[in-house]
Copies of this chain bind each other. A is one copy, B any other.
Amino acid sequence: MRAVVIDGKGAFRLEQRADPVAGPGLVTVRVHAAGLNAADLQQARGDYPAPPGWPADIPGLEIAGEVEQVGAGVTGVSVADRVMALVGGGGHAERIAVPADVLLPVPAGLSWQEAAGFPEAFSTAWDALVVQAGVRAGDRVLVTGAAGGVGTAMVQVAAASGAHVVASARRPELHGRLKELAPAGSTVEVVLPGQEGGLAPYDVVVELVGGEDCLRRVELLRTRGKVLVVGVQGGAVAPLRMFDLMLARAQLIGTTIRGRSPAEKALLAATVRTHVVPLLAEGELRVPVDAAFPLDRCSDAYARLAGPGKFGKVVMLPW
């Protein structure tokens, strides 16, 4: 099969690799589409290695496709099933072996591109907002970097949970599309970065940007508010004014999914399968796709991911 490989210099190129085999507990999937994530770029820079058990040099954290082989001991999954999954790496290839217990069903009518953009962004959003921060109806939630793949998922999951959402995004031309993400019955307010204070206070701030000033947003929290630190591409070190944290009795919560144990990932997948996939099937959640590229244009795909002005997910189409 063809796969994107990170070479010794941190560049991406296509190589021929052996097809994976469905060992016990695994299935192999023919990858129709695969989402790109900032973590792919970090991995290429050498500072975010794949966890054990996953291809070390093939990027790609989420896939959608058809089951080709079903390994021993796997039940409830059949050849040709349409599946999607958050994976530990290796998604940017024509085939991948995946533990059966992290598979999610692709709802009828959803395109491969949309399905490929769902697992990482929506698992991250659900886990961070609902499982960890306990967002509930009436909360005020600020999402920074709201126009990206994870940002558009965070906005929707918060709004679907009954929160009042403020989305912050740099490009004014994307603000209208962010407002349209609000599920029926909810509203999303959109502001430029730096204007978030005008709509404070917040119960939850979702940090998807990073940078030197990002922890100043602790000031915008209500008492016992929380900052979810999910993405810091804009700068990974920032000063924290600890009195602000103490006086608000606030929490900073760091989160990632990739380094979790297989059991934790299976648990999260079960939660997403039960609670989030149905909202996707009903159309309450949507996956905005910014751009899609065939596998042989992988460099263009990563360049688009790294560049500005995206709305939603960048995906690759291996098959």
Question: Knowing A238-B239, A242-B238 touch, does A247 contact B232 (C-beta < 8 A)?
Answer: no
Query: In the complex, what distance in Å separates the CA atom of A255 from the CA atom of B245?
Result: 7
Give residues of chain A (187-241) contacting chain B, Cβ–Cβ below 8 Å: 210, 215, 223, 229-230, 232, 236-241
* Cβ-based interface call for A246 (8 A): yes
- Across the interface, A232 reaches (CB within 8 A) one of B210, B237, B243, B256, namely B243
Q: Is the CB of A236 within 8 A of B243?
A: yes
Contact residues in B for A260 (Cβ distance below 8 Å): 249
Number of identical monomers bound together in the oligomeric complex: 2
Contact residues in B for A237 (Cβ distance below 8 Å): 239-242
- Across the interface, A252 reaches (CB within 8 A) one of B223, B232, B239, B245, namely B245
* Cβ-based interface call for A250 (8 A): yes
A218 CB, min distance to chain B CBs, angstroms: 8
Query: In the complex, what distance in Å separates the CA atom of A32 from the CA atom of B256?
Result: 52
Size bracket of the A interface: 20 to 34
* Cβ-based interface call for A253 (8 A): yes
* Cβ-based interface call for A262 (8 A): no
Contact residues in B for A245 (Cβ distance below 8 Å): 229, 252, 254
User: Which of A238, A242, A259: most chain B Cβ within 10 A?
Assistant: A242
Question: Knowing A215-B240, A237-B241, A238-B240 touch, does A254 contact B251 (C-beta < 8 A)?
Answer: yes
11 A-B residue contacts at CB 8 Å?
Answer: A215-B240, A223-B259, A236-B243, A237-B240, A240-B252, A247-B256, A247-B259, A249-B254, A249-B259, A251-B253, A252-B252
Contact residues in B for A243 (Cβ distance below 8 Å): 232, 236
Query: In the complex, what distance in Å separates the CA atom of A256 from the CA atom of B244?
Result: 11
Q: Is the CB of B239 within 8 A of A240?
A: yes
Contact residues in B for A242 (Cβ distance below 8 Å): 210, 229, 232, 236-238, 254
